[in-house]
Amino acid sequence: MNLYTNCGNGTSFIRSKEMSHVSHTSEVVLELVDKAIEDIGLENVVQVVICNASNNMGAKKLLLEKRPQIFWTSCVTHTLNLMLEGIGNLARFKKVIEQAKALTIFVYGHTRTLECMRYFTERKEIVRPGVTRFASIFLTLNSILEKKDRLRKIVVHSRWDSPRDVKSKKGKDATTIILNPNF
């Protein structure tokens, strides 16, 4: 476990504690956070920021009982990731995400289709890695949207027909996905 503090002029490292041998229960997390608060001084602590894991949320409840003046914030990255996961599971988005996955897996899975895509997108990738899997999905969807006209030019060009992989079921499915006006 690593502890940091922000003194207004940047984040500073306080200490690190090796905890792999201990079960990270709510009580253990509370004990560590509370000890850090005592070490820093209660008057110097306004907020605790921690990820949304259930053990941490349990520690939050316990800490709020003991120290109600301290504001507890869930990690924004984790919260946004959970939101993107929830959005991605909605029926109206799930199909588009599955189509985008099928398309990108096909294009990146074959040397000639990848070369063709890179030629038409001027070497710009359609897959956009993010910090989390769910962020990557939405970054990739946006990238595909930005390049949709170029991607459509690919599948109607004679270069697209030459790789034999394009004639496979997955290749025909990828072509259909790109040409679908609703995608």
Contact 62/53 with Cβ under 8 angstroms? Answer: no
71 CB neighbour count, 10 Å cutoff: 11
Residue whose structure tokens are 């070497």: 123
d(CA 22, CA 169): 51
Q: For the chain, 183 residues long, give each residue's pLDDT as a single digit of tens.
A: 666 666 556 666 666 777 788 888 999 988 888 988 888 888 888 888 887 788 888 998 998 899 998 888 877 877 888 889 999 999 989 999 999 999 999 999 999 999 999 999 999 999 998 878 888 999 999 999 999 999 999 999 988 887 788 999 999 999 999 999 988
C-alpha distances out from residue 61 to 19, 29, 48, 73, 160, Å: 22, 11, 12, 12, 58
What is the reported pTM?
Answer: 0.62
Domain extent listing, the chain: 2-74, 90-179
> Max alpha carbon distance in the chain (Å)?
71
d(CA 14, CA 28): 18
Task: Please give the span between the terminal C-alpha atoms of the chain, in angstroms, as a whole number.
Answer: 44
Q: Determine the pLDDT at residue 87.
A: 93
